[in-house]
Every structure is written in C-alpha cells, then in structure tokens.
C-alpha cells in the first residue's frame, strides 16, 4: 500500500487580491506536466501504444496527433499548478473567455458554480463530458454544467477539444468539448491536504481528500472523498472594490458614487422650494443626518454624488463555499470478453451571496406612503404602481443585508457493460446514465408588502399618544404597528420593521436520464490501412422543476407585483423534453508510405437527432489528415453544429434584476429628437428640454424565458499543422486557424444593448421591450425593461491557436520543460437582428458578451532535479476597450444642446504570474509551496457603469 500526504497550497485570489506564500505536502511523480502530449522528463521510454478514444472522435486509434486540435492537462500539471477547484483550473486555458459564472460572481451568483466558456461562446455552447459521457446537469446560476461538481482528486487528465463537434457529440458542442478523464487502476491509499490564504489575511481555503484503490485480475475498485472550504472575501477589504466607482468621462472623471436609495431616504418632492447648487429648485430631498424627520426643516436638497449610498463594502468578491464529494469507480471482468463498469459521484455544496440592504422604491414595490400617516410631514402620498404619486426611495439598513443560504446536491451515476462481439474485431458498449441536481436557496432581507402597506398607510395617535394603524379607533388594524420610513433607524422602528420582515425559498430540481449503445470496430483492409467505424443509438430525457414560495409569485406579463419586494417576484415553471439519436463515424486511410504522402486519412461523421419539442436535425462533419513527411501533419476539419435550447431557455422562471443602465434619453433635447426619430420610441414619456434624467443608475430588468425558441445552427472549420522537427528533438509546434458561424442565436438580451439597437434602428423587436411611465410626476422613468430569450441574429468569429512545447531532459542543471498556449481572436462579429447595426466584439469588454481580449496566452517553465521541481506560470491578457463606458452615454453642451459620446476606456494588457516549488521524498510524500499572483497585480477597473460586481470583470 502506498501512502500520500499532501498539504498543497497556492495562495492569492485570481481577481487580483494580494499574493502570499504558503506550504503543502503531497505526492507527485518526478515529472513536468505542462501537457500530457509529451513524456515527462523523468519518464522511462515506452514503445507500447494502446488504442484509445481521443476526444473529438468515436474511433479507437493509436495516433497521438489527429485532425482535431485537442489541448490536454494531465494530473501532474493540475497538482503542480496548486489549483484548488476545477473551475479555477479551466478559467486559465487561453481558448476560454467571455462571461462565465464562477464563485466571484456575488450579485447574481451564490451557488458556488463555475462553468466553462470555450471561444467566449457562452457556457451553454461548451459540452462537458466525464469519461466521454454527458453529466447532463444544469446549474441554476449559469444554466450550464457546473464543473465544480466534478471532484478534483478523481480527475486523471482534462482533454479540451477546440472545435465544434455536432456529428460526434450532438447538441451543445459548438464552442468545443471539455472531457474530464477519471483515474483508474489506483493501488493503495492517497491522502492529500492543502491550506492557503491571501496576504490580506482573509479568503482562507483548505482541502482534504482521500483516495483508496485496489485491483485483481478480475476487478478494480476505487473509492474516495474530498472536503473543500473557501472563506468569503469582502469587497470592502480591497482597494479596487471598496467603493462604487463610476466613470463619467472616459479615462477621467471617476466618481465615488453609489445608489440613490440611501438610509436617510430620498423624497421626490420639494414643497419648500429649496435651491440646489445650481441655484435652481432641487428635484429631491433627503433627511438631514441625525434629524428626526418629522418636520420639513429636517430635510435638505439631495446632492449627488455626495449623498449616494456606497453599497460595495457590504458585497463579496468571493462567495463562501463548502463542498463535500464522495465517489467510487468499479470495473469487473465477467469473462474474457465482457466487462461491467460503473462510476458514482455525489456532491454537496453549501454557499450563498451577500449584498447590501434592500433598496426600497415606493413605485417599483407598489407601496404607498400615505399622506395621512402620523410620520409623514409632507402632506402628500408617495409611491404606488400607478405612478400618479411622487416617488420615495430608501435603503432599508434596519433589515440587514440581503443574503442567500444555498445548497446544491448532485448525484451522478454512469455504468454499463461492454465487450467484444464474438470472434470479430468489433466491440460494444451498453451504457446507462442518471443524474440529479437539487438546488435550494433561502433568501432573506425582505418585507411583506401587505403588512408594509398597512404600516405605511393612514395612522393616528390613540389616547396614550401611541401611533396606531388606521384612521381612527373604529378602523384600527389589529396587530399592525405604524412604520416611520422618514426615520426608520430608531430602536422602536427597527423592531417594527423586523416584525414585518420575511424570507423566501426557491427550489430547482434537474434530472437527466440516458441510455446508449455504441459499436466500434474494423470494416475492411485497404492498401493504406484498415477502415474503421463507430456507430451508436441513444435516448435521453431531461426534466426541470423550478418552484418558489407563494409570497414571491407574480402575474404575467411583467411580474412586478408580489408579496415581497419587486426584485423577488417570479413564477413557478416546469419543463422537459427527450431525444432519440443515431450517429455514425468512418475513418478511412487513403494513402500511406508514398513519396510526398506518408499518410492521408479521412474521418467522416453523421448524426440524426429527433427532439420531442423541436423536431429532427441531421448534422455531419469531415476531417482530413495529411502527413507529407514523418514530422509534419497538416489537418483540417469541418463540422455542422447545433444547440438545443435548455429547459431554462424555454421554461425558466422570470427573474427581476437590477440593471446598470445608460439611458440615451438623459437631457433629451428637441434637436436630438429631430436628428433621430427613433428616440421618440426609446424615450416615450420623456419631455425634451427639461433636463430629464433617471434618478438612479440602476433600473428594473425582467429576464424571461421563451417557449417558442428553436435550436441554434451553424458550422465550424479548422485548418492547421503539427510540426515535430526531427533535427530538434522534443520540440512540437501546433498552429490552427479556426472559424465559427452560429445562426439563430439564443440570447438573453441586455437592456443597454437593446436600447442601443432601438436608438440605432427603431426596430420594435428592441423598442417594445422598454416600459416607461407615460404621465404624472414620474413620466419617462423606466418602469421595467424586459430581457427575453430570443433566436436572434448570428455570430461570426475566427482566430488562430498556437501551441509550443519543448523539453530538455537530464541536463547538468536538471530537466526542463517549456510550454506556450496562445489564442488570438481575429474577429468576433455579432449581427443582433436583421437590419440592426453589426457589432465587433473582439478586443473589447461588453456587459452582455464579457471579456474578448484579442490575445490570451499561458506560458509555463517547469524544472525537475533530484526530487525537487518548480513550475512558473505566466498568464497574459491583451488590452481591451470599453466603448462609450459612461452612465449617461453622452455629454451634452447646455448652451448648444449638442451631445457627443464620452471617450472609450482603454484597459492595458495584464500579466499574472504564479509560482510553485515542490519536493518529492523517496517515501512518496510530497511537499509543495506556492504563490498565485506573485506580483500582487490588481485587476483593471471597468467601473460600476459597465459591470455588476466589484468594479471589475469578475468572470
């Protein structure tokens, strides 16, 4: 039995907190693991080549290099990196970008999920496999596979197929495929532990895992478990995130701003005619700090940005996570020709988000502050969904922070029987899969509307001078305590608010069942080799049920009114569908060992799919491998791809959200309306030449599913070469050009993007999504902006991947390994809808699409000698541009009324450096120390105008 005690530590947050040193014990072979494609420096030569199935094909082959570009990370590379989670591991691969969910997403996160987004094409367009089989589970936050549900100790290697593969794998394999290959044939006991924290003395994490395996001639058995804990990191503990920073003028004019919902309240009325800094009557008042709020003299003009509420210190830049996983893997040889196998994993994750106290809005929350309340000094009512009363907003700090307590429980079974077909060279594999994910959330920090409306309604003083709800003793409301929103911070008011506070529950259950029969074998011998084939039949069924407490149920179409605050309003949904599929693949050797053609092979695939909701589809692919000489492989592929909508796409619950909104109607003038008639559609209800402005940088958005969605379709092509020059041993160069086209995109529209398209084109597709108050004191203000799912437009993206690998073995300074993986995006062209303006995303950051740096690269230098080893990792992101990144969108000259866009914000290139040092003792005990973010590089500021969390791109 072998033992393995590891305290592997790598410290510092990927979002650019501070680096710190740490220590660890663990076993790893004396090898350098930048890529599994080449042997480790200390590995003994092995000339035995076994047939394997490489990701991207169903054919069993001995070739290490095929037509498909595949990036590989082996267990050695994973261990030496010091990475503590699968999500963090995947985020470092240069071909991954965009807007992926991870535990740093606080506002809009909370389940501890991480998803993988190849080519920046959305996580839903990256297929995740374990041992070549779908997991089938879809998380609540990302609506994609949560790779953190895969236990890290179970992984032997990760194969990333950097091309589409619709014919080979079916739906979702558009951006590519990530295949996690699990370990096998483990013999003995392994114990690993790691601990780390940031140099700010927070964000502690630890991990303990056990793995035991044994085997005989008939069977092999492996069982293990993993316990991880990651502490939260507060946004208030980092200089880049402790203030809500807003950009009002390109690279200058940074303001410490925040929300207009403030603890002292904001009253959108000015009965005293108080004058603002500009000498004109101000549009809103706020209570003077420390004043009782019972007299009009207790109020002054609201002043922005000085009075804005800084919510950032109460947010998190890393959500807490506790994760426990158990797993087992069994193989049993029934006889020489038949083998049974199974893999079972179960994972429990406990997490949650934390955001600032509830921002109350009397209009949006449909709550009326009665003019007849004993606490109302203004003699006028405020709020109500009709929009006929002035608005009143407040930050309800007395309720405490809004936060969630979430749990995710996943169970995945994959098993079957495989064997040989009689005396033939064919093999068969009959497989069954079952997966279930239960996600539960308890969300707190809210109030019951019905009780609050009573508490803010008419009230009177009884004979003892105590406020009571109602207009008189005869109409007194039993059990109701009047609430004073004009000064809710006194101890009695805090108690009154707590009495009407409430939390709510949500539940999401996702199940996936599949059965598949695969056949693989030789067809016929040709002069150039043997024709091989793979075929199979599959059936799968997926179901999702999303439920929430009755107090947050709201009515369509806008889901604005429920028993709690508007931002909680939603609806129950249920959905599901099944599919039947048939696939085939044929590998044909065409030429071999001829002058100028050492090898020429073709690989052809086809898949027929029939979905219960969407009908049928047939997709094919073709691949070509040409080796003119021994050390050069020229390759090309073409694949038709498609993505079937997820259940959340077609039947997900509606979600109210806060959208940081750049309103083009700010300071609207008659000259602007005359120059662009589309503004009249975008700015309905806005009176020109009145200095109109949304009082808050955030508006209410409504994210919605759509039952009428159709599958996305497209095609992917690649062309490149692999060069292993004989005159430079252990050097490998890979270069591939790739091009993707996707049509009928399933897209959750972004409010800012939709508004830009409305102004540019006047299309009702976009202009009908915005709902403003048509009249009254709130005319022109946004009531809600719908963000539905659409089959809309197309995407074109292309670029180049370059991979370099070089080894120097057994020199007098040790063994060295150098690696570079670089992705360059040439174009990322979004065509949002017919007639809409084309948008080039490459080289920019966009709230809807995420970070699309044109160049992403990861370089590694590994060293090993006499049991000691080191790994230096350098990650590079090219400069990006934020186009017109202001709150107001344009700056208007008050004299001429001429508006010009603010300048673009240029973000420079970024380099992050990680270092690990290790030593493996003869007892197979390993010690490893490491630092992530060695130079303490802080993340770039993108400002709250453009992001949701932490002033930066946390994705």
In the prediction, which pLDDT does 738 show?
96
Residue from 840, 913, 852, 847 nearest 878 by CA: 852
The 8-class DSSP code of residue 358 comes to: P
User: Does residue 4 register a pLDDT over 60?
Assistant: no
In the prediction, which pLDDT does 41 show?
37
Among the residue ranges 97-101, 536-540, 895-899, the one predicted with the least confidence is 895-899
In the prediction, which pLDDT does 785 show?
95
Give me the torsion for CA of 13, 14, 20, 22, rounded to 10°.
90
In the prediction, which pLDDT does 425 show?
86
Residue from 419, 446, 420, 418 nearest 432 by CA: 418
Whole-model pTM: value is 0.86
> How many C-beta atoms surround the C-beta of residue 509 within 10 A?
16
User: Does residue 65 register a pLDDT over 60?
Assistant: yes
* Whole-number Cα distances in Å, 632 to 596, 623, 625, 629, 732: 11, 17, 10, 6, 10
User: Does residue 872 register a pLDDT over 90?
Assistant: yes
Compare 802 and 5 and report the one with higher pLDDT: 802
In the prediction, which pLDDT does 457 show?
94
- Out of 16-30, 129-143, 612-626, give the one with best mean pLDDT: 612-626
In the prediction, which pLDDT does 301 show?
93
Q: What is the 3-state secondary structure (H, E, C) of 145-184?
A: CCHHHCCHHHEEEEEEECCCCHHHHCCCCCCEEEEEEECC
- 226-265 burial, b at 16+ Cβ within 10 Å, e below that, comes to bebbbbbbbbebbebbbbbbbbbebeeeebebbbbbbbbb
Query: Cβ(936)–Cβ(240) under 8 Å?
Result: no
In the prediction, which pLDDT does 128 show?
92
Query: Cβ(79)–Cβ(8) under 8 Å?
Result: yes
Q: Average pLDDT of the chain?
A: 87
- 393-415 burial, b at 16+ Cβ within 10 Å, e below that, comes to bbbbbbbbbbbbbbbbbbbbebb
| CA separation for the pair 763, 751 (Å, rounded) | 14
The average pLDDT across 814-832 equals 93
Give ∠ CA 23-26-28 in degrees, rounded to 5. Answer: 125
Residue from 165, 292, 318, 154 nearest 234 by CA: 318
Compare 417 and 777 and report the one with higher pLDDT: 417
Q: What DSSP line would sit under 558-591, residue for residue?
A: T----SS-GGG-B--EEEEEEEEEEEEEEEEEEE
Query: Cβ(377)–Cβ(356) under 8 Å?
Result: no
Percent above pLDDT 90 for the chain: 57
In the prediction, which pLDDT does 251 show?
54
User: Does residue 10 register a pLDDT over 70?
Assistant: no
Q: Which residues contact 555 (CB under 8 A, 6 or more apart)?
A: 561
Q: Which residues contact 566 (CB under 8 A, 6 or more apart)?
A: 361, 364, 365, 366, 560, 656, 700
User: Does residue 20 register a pLDDT over 80?
Assistant: no
The average pLDDT across 158-178 equals 91
User: Does residue 325 register a pLDDT over 70?
Assistant: yes
At 21, the pLDDT band (50, 70, 90 cuts) reads very low
| CA separation for the pair 278, 292 (Å, rounded) | 27
At 12, the pLDDT band (50, 70, 90 cuts) reads very low
In the prediction, which pLDDT does 893 show?
58
Percent above pLDDT 70 for the chain: 92
In the prediction, which pLDDT does 320 show?
93
User: Does residue 753 register a pLDDT over 60?
Assistant: yes
In the prediction, which pLDDT does 898 show?
63
Query: Cβ(954)–Cβ(940) under 8 Å?
Result: no
In the prediction, which pLDDT does 2 show?
32
Among the residue ranges 217-221, 258-262, 951-955, the one predicted with the least confidence is 951-955
In the prediction, which pLDDT does 249 show?
56
Residue from 684, 660, 674 nearest 898 by CA: 674
pLDDT in tens, 518-533: 999 999 999 999 999 9
pLDDT in tens, 339-378: 999 999 999 999 999 999 999 999 888 899 999 999 999 9
pLDDT in tens, 673-722: 999 989 999 999 999 998 898 877 778 899 999 998 999 999 999 999 99
In the prediction, which pLDDT does 492 show?
85
pLDDT in tens, 765-796: 889 999 998 888 889 999 999 999 888 889 99
In the prediction, which pLDDT does 37 show?
35
In the prediction, which pLDDT does 584 show?
96
At 265, the pLDDT band (50, 70, 90 cuts) reads very high
At 33, the pLDDT band (50, 70, 90 cuts) reads very low
- Out of 55-69, 460-474, 900-914, give the one with best mean pLDDT: 460-474
């Amino acid at each position: 039995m072998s033992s393995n005690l590891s305290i592997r530590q790598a410290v510092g947050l990927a979002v650019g907190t501070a680096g710190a040193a740490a220590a660890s014990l663990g076993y790893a072979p004396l090898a350098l693991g930048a890529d599994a494609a080449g042997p480790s420096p200390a590995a003994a030569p092995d000339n035995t080549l076994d047939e394997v199935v490489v990701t991207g094909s169903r054919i069993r082959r001995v070739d290490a290099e095929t037509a498909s570009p595949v990036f590989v990370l082996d267990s050695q590379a994973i261990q030496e990196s010091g990475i503590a989670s699968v999500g963090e591991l995947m985020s470092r691969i240069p071909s991954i970008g965009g807007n992926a969910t991870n535990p740093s997403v606080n506002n809009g996160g909370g389940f501890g999920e991480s998803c993988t987004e190849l080519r920046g094409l959305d996580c839903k367009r990256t297929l995740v496999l374990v041992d070549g089989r779908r997991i089938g589970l879809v998380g609540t936050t990302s609506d994609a596979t949560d790779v953190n549900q895969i236990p890290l100790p179970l992984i032997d290697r990760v194969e990333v197929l950097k091309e589409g593969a619709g014919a080979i794998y079916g739906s979702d394999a558009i951006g590519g495929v990530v295949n996690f290959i699990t370990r096998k044939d483990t013999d003995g006991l392994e114990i690993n532990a790691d601990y780390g924290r940031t140099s700010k003395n927070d964000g502690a994490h630890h991990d303990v895992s056990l793995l035991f395996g044994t085997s005989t001639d008939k069977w092999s058995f492996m069982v293990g478990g993993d316990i991880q804990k990651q502490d939260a990191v507060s946004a208030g503990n980092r200089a880049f995130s402790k203030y809500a920073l807003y950009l009002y003028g390109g690279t200058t004019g940074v303001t410490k701003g925040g929300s207009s919902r403030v603890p002292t309240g904001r009253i959108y009325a000015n009965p005293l005619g108080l004058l603002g800094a500009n000498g004109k009557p101000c549009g809103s008042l706020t209570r003077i700090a420390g004043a009782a709020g019972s007299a009009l003299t207790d109020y002054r003009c609201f002043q922005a940005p000085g009075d804005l509420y800084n919510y950032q210190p109460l947010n998190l830049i890393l959500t807490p996570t506790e994760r426990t996983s158990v797993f087992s893997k069994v193989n049993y040889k029934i006889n020489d020709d038949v083998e049974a196998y199974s893999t079972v994993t179960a994972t429990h994750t406990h997490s949650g988000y934390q955001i600032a106290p509830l921002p109350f809005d009397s209009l949006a929350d449909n709550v009326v502050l009665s003019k007849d309340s004993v606490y109302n000094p203004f003699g006028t009512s405020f709020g109500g969904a009709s929009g006929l009363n002035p608005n009143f907003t407040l930050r309800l700090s007395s309720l405490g922070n809004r936060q969630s307590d979430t749990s995710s429980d996943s169970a995945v079974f994959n098993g079957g029987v495989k064997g040989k077909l009689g005396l033939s060279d064919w093999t068969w594999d009959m497989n069954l899969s079952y997966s279930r994910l239960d996600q539960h959330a308890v969300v707190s920090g809210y109030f019951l509307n019905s009780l609050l409306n009573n508490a803010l309604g008419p009230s009177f003083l009884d004979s003892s001078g105590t406020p009571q709800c109602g207009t008189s003793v005869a109409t007194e409301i039993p059990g109701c305590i009047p609430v004073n929103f004009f000064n809710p911070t006194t101890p009695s008011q805090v108690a009154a608010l707590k009495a009407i506070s409430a939390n709510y529950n949500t539940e999401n259950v996702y199940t996936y069942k599949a059965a598949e029969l695969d056949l693989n074998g030789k067809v016929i011998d040709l002069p150039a080799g043997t024709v091989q084939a793979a075929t199979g039949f599959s059936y799968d069924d997926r179901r999702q049920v999303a439920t929430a407490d009755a107090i947050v149920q709201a009515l369509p179409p806008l889901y604005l009114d429920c028993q709690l605050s508007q931002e909680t309003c939603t609806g129950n949904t249920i959905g599901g569908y099944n599919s039947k599929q048939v696939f085939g693949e044929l590998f044909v050797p065409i030429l071999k060992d001829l002058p100028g053609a050492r090898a020429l092979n073709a690989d052809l695939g086809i898949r027929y799919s029939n979905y219960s909701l969407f009908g049928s589809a047939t997709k094919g692919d073709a691949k070509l491998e040409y080796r003119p000489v021994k050390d050069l492989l020229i390759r090309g592929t073409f694949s038709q791809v498609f993505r079937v909508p997820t259940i959340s796409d077609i039947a997900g619950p509606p979600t109210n959200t806060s959208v940081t909104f750049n309103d083009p109607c700010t300071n609207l003038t008659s000259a602007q309306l005359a120059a662009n008639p589309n503004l009249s559609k975008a700015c309905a209800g806005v009176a020109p030449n009145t200095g109109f402005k949304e009082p808050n940088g955030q508006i209410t958005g409504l994210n919605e599913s759509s039952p009428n969605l159709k599958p996305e379709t497209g095609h992917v092509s690649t062309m490149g070469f692999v060069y292993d020059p004989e005159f430079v041993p252990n050097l490998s160069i890979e270069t591939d050009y790739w091009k993707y086209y996707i049509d009928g995109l399933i897209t959750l529209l972004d409010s800012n993007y939709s508004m830009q398209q409305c102004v540019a084109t006047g299309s009702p597709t976009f202009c009908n999504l915005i709902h403003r108050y048509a009249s009254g004191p709130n005319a022109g203000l946004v009531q809600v902006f719908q963000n539905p799912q659409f089959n809309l437009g197309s995407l074109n993206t292309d670029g180049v991947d370059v991979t370099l690998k070089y080894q120097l073995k057994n020199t007098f300074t040790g063994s060295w390994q150098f690696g570079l993986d670089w992705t360059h995006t040439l174009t990322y062209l979004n065509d949002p809808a017919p007639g809409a303006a084309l948008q080039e995303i490459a080289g920019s950051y966009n709230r809807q699409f995420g970070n699309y740096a044109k160049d992403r690269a990861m370089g590694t230098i590994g060293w090993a000698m006499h049991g000691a080893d080191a790994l230096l990792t350098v990650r590079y992101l090219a400069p990006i541009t934020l186009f017109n990144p202001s709150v107001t969108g344009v700056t208007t000259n008050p004299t001429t009324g001429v508006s010009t866009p603010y300048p673009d914000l240029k973000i420079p290139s970024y380099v992050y450096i990680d270092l690990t040092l290790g030593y493996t003792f003869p007892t197979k005990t390993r010690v490893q120390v490491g630092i992530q973010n060695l130079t303490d590089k802080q993340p770039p500021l993108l400002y709250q105008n453009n992001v949701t969390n932490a002033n930066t791109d946390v994705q």
